[in-house]
Amino acid sequence: MKVIKVNMKDSTGVDAGAIVNTWCTYSVNSKDVYTLEAVSTSYNEDHGQWAQNVKDGGIYNNGTVADTYTIDKGHVSLVASSDGVKSDKRVYGNDKTVYINVDTSVIACKSDYEQQTTKTGNGYSDVQSTPAADLDKYYMTGSTDVNKAIIIDDVESVTVGVKNTNIVVDDVVANDYNDSTNTPYTDAQVAVPKSEIYTLYEGGDVIAVITIGEDQGTTSKYVYVHTDDVEWEEYGHGTSEKWRWEREVLMDGKITSLYEVTDSNYSKIDTAHMNQGEWYKISFDADGNVKSATKLTFATSTEYVNEVQYVDDAIEDHDSVVLFDQTFTADIDEDDDAEDYDDDWFEVECPTCGADILVDDDALVDGEVECPSCGTRYAMELTDDEDQESEDEGEEPEE
């Protein structure tokens, strides 16, 4: 993939701001100068482009109001133009369609963005009484012009074929992005792109589509944070001018190190963003580094349940279920002789808070145990007494 620099000063008919977001055809002359021409947004049988604003879900989802838009093998159509409600022209993904999911970030730009309070529309059409009836590609609610904008800055994943695709596109909002003090932006502080789906089509087929969303096919894991902060951080990792962090967590029943690499001195896995004693869903990039960390909120009617009695219902409704029950107790008859349980369980002191932790057969099989008081989890390793005795007998006595 080649990166080219576009001279917006000499360009015509294109918004010169940071939020352009358009498909273009191009030609190259003998001096390796590229000339770009934006693809038409008027629907035709040959080729064209269109942008979908998830905020217009009531129109684009056939009347179903939603803040997300799913693209997968059961949802293959995308809008090619809009002239009102259900008469939208649609095009369809196939086994050759390229789905490019991208990451975004906030940048300081040279041009100022003035107030544009209309959040509907996509900036492509001015046909009145249609969901796209607004030529502004962004919104910003503040009365004072701003020079910050949310832009596409990297490719998260590339998938070929709609049968292999599972992307959930969310409405882009300013509050999802933080400033240098880690405070979320407001709609009055940054220009936000209206559309999240940018479709390029030929005839009735989707050639390619850019999405600002979450690729459900990227690797995600659930982790429990038992450490109080990152183990170390460094600048200038390898030969690059990047920051790198490492933090230990419990993942898949084992103590595992998480790694994060960024361009700025801002970490998603430090103590300011990942709290000790909490569960998180971690998404990884193609290099195995942390891309995002989302704290889990446990309740009785979600995929993250806080009592074992709700597990069966959760499994019926969700593909993945996490149980975090901190209220369990040992159900032991006080009248029974304690010696009867010597081989079945024992107690150890929690190194973190000093409470007693019950270690039973299930804990030994799982290879980890959790403190019922502070919630800290510990990995365990089983050793065979006879093997240990054999090793001890085989050692030469010290003189």
Residue 146 in any domain: the answer is yes
Which range, 128-132, 178-182, 272-276, 329-333, is most confident? 272-276
Domain tally, the chain = 2
Going by the DSSP 8-state scheme, the letter that residue 60 receives in this structure is: H
Of 215, 230, 255, which one is at a domain's C-terminal end? 215
Strands 166-170 and 213-215 turn out to be antiparallel
Q: pLDDT (tens digit, 9 = 90+) per residue, 78-88? A: 888 765 444 56
Within this chain, do residues 234 and 180 fall inside the same structural domain, yes or no?
no
Q: Tokens 């596109």, residue?
A: 169
What is the token pair recorded at 268?
A: 């998603």
Q: Tell me, what's the pLDDT at 85?
A: 46
What is the token pair recorded at 263?
A: 């361009």
The Cα–Cα gap between 231 and 216 comes to 29
Q: How far apart are the first and last CA of the chain?
A: 70
The Cα–Cα gap between 279 and 249 comes to 10
Residue 292 CB burial class (10 angstroms; 0-12, 13-18, ≥19): middle
CB 71 within 8 A of CB 93: yes
Within this chain, do residues 209 and 271 fall inside the same structural domain, yes or no?
no
The Cα–Cα gap between 237 and 242 comes to 6
Q: pLDDT (tens digit, 9 = 90+) per residue, 144-176? A: 999 999 999 888 888 999 998 989 898 888 988
**What's the pTM value of the predicted model, to 2 decimals?**
0.58
Q: pLDDT (tens digit, 9 = 90+) per residue, 38-78? A: 888 777 667 888 888 886 654 444 445 567 888 998 889 88
Domain residue limits at 226: 220-295
Q: Where are the alpha helices (DSSP H) in 89-173?
A: none
CB 40 within 8 A of CB 48: yes
Q: What percent of the chain has pLDDT over 90?
A: 21
Within this chain, do residues 142 and 190 fall inside the same structural domain, yes or no?
yes
Residue 326 in any domain: the answer is no
Q: pLDDT (tens digit, 9 = 90+) per residue, 313-365? A: 888 877 778 888 766 555 545 454 444 444 467 788 888 888 888 887 777 77
